[in-house]
Amino acid sequence: MMVKSHWSMLSQLALVCALTLSFFALRAAYEVSPIHAASGTAVGTSLTDYPRVIRLAHSNNSSLPNGTLIASADTNNGQAFPVYTSINGGSSWNYLSTVSPADASAGNCCVALFEVPQQTGSLSAGTLLLAGTIGTGLSIGIWYSTDQGNSWNFLSYVATGGQGSGKGLWEPDLAIDNNGNLICYFSDERHQGDGYNQLLGHVISTDGGQTWGSEVYDVAVNDNNTRPGMASVVKLPDGSYIMAYEVCGNPGCSVHVRTSSDGDNWGNASNLGSIPQASDGSYFTSTTGLVWSPGGGPNGELILVGKYLSNSPNGGSGSTLLTTTDFSGTGTWYKMTAPFNVNIPNSGDHCANYSSSLLPSSDGSSLLELAGQLTADNNCQIVAGSANAGVLPYNDPFSSGTDAGWVTYGGNWSVSNGVYSDTSYSGQGDKAVVGSTAWSNYTLSGDVQLTANDDDAGFIVRVTDPSTGIDALSGYVVGISSGGFYLGRESNGSWTTLGSGTIPGGVSTYTWYHLNIGVQGCTLSIAASAAGSSDQGTLNYTDNGCSSTTGQIGIRTHSGTASWRNISVTAQ
């Protein structure tokens, strides 16, 4: 939604109640909450929601060189926009400066950060811009910094004339269009008299943000109900643009996308665009963020985040992102595990995973996420964490001491000295998964050790629809037990044994065994040995009944306890 929770919402109460009831009825029918050990690192203090992060690429400041991360967010008192920096990829953060609007006694909201990539008007490449809502939706202001965020000056008002909560101006997002002009997109409630409960529009500046042109409607429906908002705009390598946004006023505030050839013209404003959906029909609702990453495909990929993953058979809210290499946004989207899990309460809140921010590494191999997270004492804080960006090759030696990027279902998981362990002894098929459901033909390598006499454990490949339960996934299991190694297929509650083999020297507890598992089409190739030994057992199996040739990877126990290390995945 568009309005800060600590501001008056009386004018929107009926709408919010209706949306909340319908949305949570839908979500409750599907939500199964996974466990996730990695929880992110706190960014500053008193930061609450709308986190934003950028990486400097045009800096001339030796103390804040290219590669430095700059972040900001709303605060719990709504009086200022503090700015933080990180020089280690988001592992730790330091306070840098504060933007304090002179007329913000009623509160600020919805910060945006942008590094100008080229000369536009009077602004040179490397200038930082910070935009935000001022005074409970009364206006949107913009500030600039020529010293990489150390100091800030007011530039202009992008839009004015808001009338406060329920009739305000919200959630700016900045870009440079294909004409080299500065453009600001925002959510606008000023036109309710014309039947637009809320619309998405933009204004253009030809002089570097000193003055702004007339508003253009980008997504707007005058039915007194539909509320498009929270634009997140990305310029793609071919020069086109794609926008992600939520559309409230319909159950669940579903996330939509649409495209533009130049950043200015988005087609018929009454066209709500398309809903990004995974193959299982799941999609995001309520708040969104979109980025382009150079990894994941020959032209890179899009990565999408939303507060809730709806219509998902086995949950995934707060631990799932969606990706695609189809830049129209209308093709298939795939699930990938988020860098860390955000625990979202069953009741609505304005913190957990609310308008999260994503930032791929320069080569697209890893992904940083900033998100709101509720603390143990029910306060909101912004946390940051990074992990593999759902791309191959993948390698996790667990040297960070966390299971960043892994999502666990059941079990008692921990990381120590480069070893990932489950010590629950639950007998419920504890599992942990990582990666993307877009992964197709690949080879997984890793070591597994049984730590209970009656256990069997190993790896899972081509994983989709994981959940808590002994056979609760679709995919293949390659495990070891006292009799050697085995291959089986799980299909959401059913088990089929497909093959088995011996490991030279047998299998003992507290001994490491190395498994090499290749998946190519419907054929699986397995090699198993004691770690460090060249003597191995092998199995090649073609599953004529295979129904999926893509999926994540993971680890799994059956009934006891086990440990894993040195897990890697390479494309075939």
Going by the DSSP 8-state scheme, the letter that residue 33 receives in this structure is P
Q: How many CA atoms lie within 13 A of 318 on its CB side?
A: 27
Task: Count the Cβ atoms, other than its own, within 10 Å of residue 235.
Answer: 18
| Mean pLDDT of the residues in the chain | 90
Going by pLDDT thresholds of 50, 70 and 90, the confidence category of residue 67 is: very high
Q: Reply yes or no on whether the pLDDT at 496 is more than 60.
A: yes
CB-based contact 187:174 (threshold 8 Å)? no
Which value, to the nearest 10 degrees, does the dihedral of the CA atoms of residues 255, 339, 370, 365 take? -90
Task: Count the Cβ atoms, other than its own, within 10 Å of residue 349.
Answer: 17
The CATH number of domain 394-571 is 3.40.50.300: no
Q: How many CA atoms lie within 13 A of 136 on its CB side?
A: 13
Going by the DSSP 8-state scheme, the letter that residue 32 receives in this structure is -
Q: Reply yes or no on whether the pLDDT at 378 is more than 80.
A: yes
pLDDT value at residue 427: 84
Q: Reply yes or no on whether the pLDDT at 347 is more than 70.
A: no
Q: Which of 212, 189, 191, 192 is nearest to 202 (CA)?
A: 212
Q: Reply yes or no on whether the pLDDT at 19 is more than 50.
A: no
pLDDT value at residue 28: 34
Which of 177-181, 466-470, 536-540 is the least confident region? Answer: 466-470
**pLDDT tens digits, 143-196:** 999 999 999 999 999 999 988 778 899 999 999 999 999 999 999 999 999 999
Q: Report domain extents, the chain.
A: 10-388, 394-571
Residue 468, phi then psi, degrees to nearest 5: -80, 130
Q: Reply yes or no on whether the pLDDT at 100 is more than 80.
A: yes
The CATH number of domain 10-388 is 3.40.50.2300: no
Going by pLDDT thresholds of 50, 70 and 90, the confidence category of residue 21 is: very low
Percentage of the residues of the chain whose pLDDT score is greater than 70: 92
Average pLDDT in the 5-28 region?
A: 34
Going by the DSSP 8-state scheme, the letter that residue 123 receives in this structure is B
Here the tokens at position 519 are 């998946």
Identify which has the larger pLDDT, 534 or 47. Answer: 534
CB-based contact 536:480 (threshold 8 Å)? no
Average pLDDT in the 397-405 region?
A: 91
pLDDT value at residue 463: 97
Average pLDDT in the 316-323 region?
A: 96
Write the DSSP assignment of 308-329 as a string of letters. EEES-TT--TTTEEEEES-TTS
pTM of the model: 0.92
Q: Reply yes or no on whether the pLDDT at 26 is more than 90.
A: no
Q: Reply yes or no on whether the pLDDT at 472 is more than 70.
A: yes
Q: Reply yes or no on whether the pLDDT at 29 is more than 90.
A: no
